[in-house]
Amino acid sequence: MTQFTELNVFNNPITSKGAEYFTNLKQLIKLDIGGTEIGDEGMKSIGKMKQLTKLEMCGNKIGDEGIKALSNLNSSLTHLCVRKNNIGQEGAKTLKHLTRLNYLDIRKNKLGNQGAKEISELPQLTRLFICKNNIGDEGAKAIGEIQTLTQLVMSENPIGDGGAISVSQLRHLKTLCIQWTNVRTEGIKAICNMKQLTCLHIQSNKLGFDDIKPIGQLNQLTRLLISDNQIGDSGAKIISELNQLTNLRIYDSNIGIEGAKSLSGMKNLTKLNLSGNKIGNKGLEAISGMLQLQKLSVIHCEIGDEGAKYLLNMPNLRKLYIGDDISDRIIKELRKKMKVVDHY
C-alpha cells in the first residue's frame, strides 16, 4: 500500500489518527479527503506530505487555522480544492504562498474583497473557481489582474458592472461564468469585447434584449448559458447568429414561436435547453428541423402530442427532456428511438 500514488477517501470518517497514517505513503501525490472533517490536528499531518501535487478537501470546515498547515506544500502543490471550508481573509493569506498552484477551487467560503486580493497574487493560476464568496467590484478588480487565467468561475458574487469591466481585461480567458452577479448593460458590453472567449455563462442577471445586443459580436463562442433573462424573441434572433455555438442553454427566457424559428437555423448546435419558453407545437416543429441535435430539453413549453411527434424525425437526438401533456403512447414511441427520454 505504501506504493500508492493516488488515494480517494471522500466522505469517510477519517480521524486525525487516520490522517497521520497517510504520511507513511511516501509515493502519494494525489489525495482526496473531502467530507472527512479531519480537523486541525489532521491537517497538520496533511501539511507534512510535501510530495502532494493534487489535494481535494471540500466540505471539511477547517477554517483559516486548519488551512495554515498547507503552507508547507508550496513547493509541490499545483491543484487544490478547498470548497466549503469557512476560509476567510486570513486563510487566503496562507493560500497565496502556494505559488505553484495552477488550479484553485475555493467556492462557498468567506473571502470577501480582501481575500480575493490575496488570491490574486498567485503567479501561475490558470483556473479559478471562486463562486459565492461575497466578492464585490473591488475584489473583482484584483481578480482582473491575474493575467494567467484561462478559466474563471465567479458566480453568485455581487460584482456588478464595475466588476465585469475589470474581469474583461483578462486577455487569455477562454471560459467565464458570472451567473447571479448583478451584471447589466455596461458589464455585458465590456465582456463582449473579449473576442477570445469560447464559453460564457450569464444566467440570472435580469438582462433584457437591449442588454444582450453586443453578444452578437462573440462569434467564437461554442457554449452559452443565458437562461433566466427576459431576452424574448428578438434576443433569440441575435443569439441565432452565433454560428459556432454547439451548446446553448436559454430556458425561461420569454421566447415564443418566432424565437424558436430563429434558433432552428443554428446548424452547429448539438445541445439545446429551451425549457420554460412558450414555443408550443409550432415552435417545436421548427426546432425539429435541427437534425444535428443530440440533446434537447423542452419542459414546460406548452407542447402536446402534435408537437412531440415532430421529434420522431430527428435522427441524431439521443437525450430528450420533455414535459407538458404528452400521451404515454407518444412517450413510448420516443423511447424506442432515443437513449434517454425523461417525461416531467
pLDDT in tens, 43-91: 999 999 999 999 999 998 899 999 999 999 999 999 999 999 999 999 9
Q: Answer with the one of 65, 86, 107 that is the final residue of a domain.
A: 86
Q: Answer with the one of 30, 59, 86 that is the final residue of a domain.
A: 86
With 70 as the cut, is the pLDDT of residue 1 above it? no
- What whole-number distance in Å separates Cα of residue 53 and Cα of residue 34? 16
Q: Which three cell numbers stand for residue 286?
A: 421548427
- What whole-number distance in Å separates Cα of residue 253 and Cα of residue 85? 35
Query: Is position 215 within any domain?
Result: no
Encode pLDDT of 264-291 as tens digits.
999 999 999 999 999 999 999 999 999 9
Run of H or E residues at 161:
helix 160-167
Encode pLDDT of 87-131 as tens digits.
999 999 999 999 999 999 999 999 999 999 999 999 999 999 999
- What whole-number distance in Å separates Cα of residue 302 and Cα of residue 222? 28
Query: Is position 230 within any domain?
Result: yes
The four Cα atoms 13, 19, 21, 23 give a dihedral, to 10 degrees, of 150
User: Helix, strand, coil % (nearest 5) of the chain?
Assistant: 35, 15, 50
Q: Which three cell numbers stand for residue 62?
A: 477547517
Encode pLDDT of 182-205 as tens digits.
999 999 999 999 999 999 999 999
Write down the pLDDT at residue 148. 99
Q: Which band of pLDDT confidence, cut at 50, 70 and 90, is reported for residue 37?
A: confident
Which amino acid does the sequence have at 233? D
Query: Is position 6 within any domain?
Result: yes
The number of distinct structural domains making up the chain is 2
Write down the pLDDT at residue 175. 99
- What whole-number distance in Å separates Cα of residue 246 and Cα of residue 235? 18
With 70 as the cut, is the pLDDT of residue 12 above it? yes
Query: Is position 197 within any domain?
Result: no
Spatial contact of 48 and 71, defined as CB atoms under 8 Å apart? no
Query: Is position 7 within any domain?
Result: yes
Query: Is position 22 within any domain?
Result: yes
- What whole-number distance in Å separates Cα of residue 146 and Cα of residue 126? 8
289: containing domain:
226-343
Which amino acid does the sequence have at 32? D
What CATH number corresponds to the domain at position 6? 3.80.10.10
Q: Answer with the one of 51, 86, 121 that is the final residue of a domain.
A: 86
> Residue 82's closest CA among 62, 112, 53?
62
